[in-house]
Structure 1
Amino acid sequence: MAIEKGDFIKIQYTGKFNEGMVFDTTDEEVAKENGIYTPRGVYGGDVVVVGSGQTIKGLDEDFEGKEEGYSGSITVPAEKAFGPHNPALVETLSVTKLKDQLKDQKPYPGMGIELNGKRGVIIQVIGRRVRVDFNHALAGKEVEYEYTIEKKLEDNVEKVKGLIALYTGIEDIETEVTEDLIQIYTPIELSFNQRWLVSKVNIANELIERLGIPNLEYIERHPYVPPEEEAAAAAPVEEESEAEAEEAEQSEE
């Protein structure tokens, strides 16, 4: 049966630009070979809802009409990828505006910064002023995706787990689903995940709408964790959540 809008599908993919440079992949070995591997990354495939904007527009549109098991590639123009490069998003700023981030560092081209909730990259340093590009790093670029539709999900528990993993990077969260209720048992590490705190209401609304189940409960479990272990666990999760939040913002755009 052909894939339609609203279907939950699990996909494997590798995204490239500039005739072969890999910028994103669900394949751990490909990530390592191309220097983009992160130990906290989730590999092995993503679950997305077709037509929901959880991936770039050109790729999302290409899923429709395909069959489970399909493998192929697509070249996506900038307009349906990460958007055209917008000169209005390149700003000249005084170094003093960035002093809290720079601390004792000197600004340099290629340095990433964040200002007023926007992430950008310094592209030029002119005395005490810098030019910062707040466009997406791949704005204005044509990209290519090789992808496989591994399966179309029919089981509601799989759908819930897949969507939560997409948003949080945490796989196999304990879940129970009946005709009237979705119950999600949230592990303690999500208490430190900023992206989860921001997204959990949207996740709940999306699951209720997509599955047609009227109620959802998040059930928190808090086993005793010695303070030193809790502090050690919290730091990397907070660091990862910043990267995840940026990806979420880019996907929504």
Structure 2
Amino acid sequence: MAIQKGDFIKLNYTGRFEDGRIFDTTDEELAKQEEIFNPRGLYGGDVVIVGAGHTIEGLDEDLEGKEAGYSGTVSIPPEKAFGPSNPKLVETVSITKLPDRNVHPGMPVEIDGRRGVVSRVIGRRVTVDYNSPLAGKTVTYEYAIEKLLEDDVEKIQGLLALYTGIRDMEVEIADGVAKINVPTGLTFNQRWLMAKNRVASELFKYAGLKEVQLIEKLTAEAEVPAPAEPEVKAEPEAEEEPSESQE
């Protein structure tokens, strides 16, 4: 059966730059070998909804029409990958702005809380690129569609894992209502607080559910983190233009 928009699939992939360097993979051993392993990452394949924006546009489009078990490679230009490089995020500053004056092209730096990479050094002037390292790059993805998910519980667990990094959360479904038992650790997790409404919306749209119940349980033994102290600044600061970034 051909993969269509709205299908839940399990996807394994490896992303490379044009020079062959790997920047992302679902293969844990390969990530360690390439020194890009993230101990908080979830390896072994992602469950994604085709057409829901869970992958970059070029890869998402290439999935359509394929079948479970397919494996292949796709080359993706910047406009359908991580976007073009923004010239407004390339700035030239005095070398005195840097704590380390022994700078060179390719050196990562942080200036006024913004992270960038030195692209050029001329005398005492340094050009810093604050774009994402992935911006403006043509990338290649080797990928395999491991399976097309049919079971509703498996779909929900896969989507939850994509957003939380936790596999096999406890889920029950009856009469279009999904009951999701949220682990205590997620109750105070900022990533989860921001993602849970989107998770519910996608389950309504793509899994045909009419209600999602998020059940959060606290016990006497559970450690409840103290509320964070508000940050106090001596004087207001203008917000910097955020740079693009990837996980």
Q: Which residue of 1 aligns with 2:53?
A: 53
What is the CA-CA distance between 1:249 and the residue it aligns to?
A: 7.1
Matched letter for residue 108 of structure 2: G
Two-structure CA RMSD over aligned residues (Å)? 3.1
Equivalence map 1:63-212=2 (5 Å): 63-91=63-91, 109-111=107-109, 120-123=115-118, 132-212=128-208
1:217 matched to 2:230:
no
Q: Which residue of 2 aligns with 1:235?
A: none
Kept after mapping to 1: 8 A contact 2:12/2:26 = yes
Q: Which residue of 1 aligns with 2:229?
A: none
> How far does the alpha carbon of each residue in 1:47-84 deviate from its partner, in whole angstroms, 9 at most, with x for none?
11101111111000000000100011111111111111
Question: Which 4+ stretches in 1 moved above 6 angstroms?
Answer: 124-130
Decide which structure has the larger Cα Rg and report it. Answer: 2
Alignment partner of 2:205: what SS? helix
Alignment partner of 1:144: what SS? strand
Give the Cα–Cα distance (whole angstroms) in 1 for the partners of residues 29 and 146 of structure 2. Answer: 18
Kept after mapping to 2: 8 A contact 1:187/1:222 = no
Kept after mapping to 1: 8 A contact 2:18/2:140 = no
Structure 2's unaligned 5+ residue stretches are: 226-241
Kept after mapping to 2: 8 A contact 1:71/1:146 = yes
Matched letter for residue 123 of structure 1: V
- TM-score, normalised via structure 2 length: 0.79
Structure 1's unaligned 5+ residue stretches are: 232-245
- C-alpha change, 1:202 and 1:92, in structure 2 (3 Å) is farther
Kept after mapping to 2: 8 A contact 1:120/1:132 = no
Alignment partner of 1:3: what SS? coil
Matched letter for residue 163 of structure 1: L
Matched letter for residue 197 of structure 2: V
- C-alpha change, 1:171 and 1:111, in structure 2 (3 Å) is farther
Give the Cα–Cα distance (whole angstroms) in 2 for the partners of residues 218 and 112 of structure 1. Answer: 40
Q: Which residue of 1 aligns with 2:233?
A: none
Matched letter for residue 147 of structure 2: K
Equivalence map 1:16-55=2 (5 Å): 16-55=16-55
- C-alpha change, 1:112 and 1:65, in structure 2 (3 Å) is farther
Aligned length: 225
- Write 1 or 2 for the structure with the bigger share of helix: 1
Give the Cα–Cα distance (whole angstroms) in 2 for the partners of residues 114 and 27 of structure 1. Answer: 36
Give the Cα–Cα distance (whole angstroms) in 2 for the partners of residues 179 and 114 of structure 1. Answer: 54
Give the Cα–Cα distance (whole angstroms) in 1 for the partners of residues 31 and 164 of structure 2. Answer: 19
- TM-score, normalised via structure 1 length: 0.78
Matched letter for residue 49 of structure 2: V
What is the CA-CA distance between 1:114 and the residue it aligns to?
A: 8.2
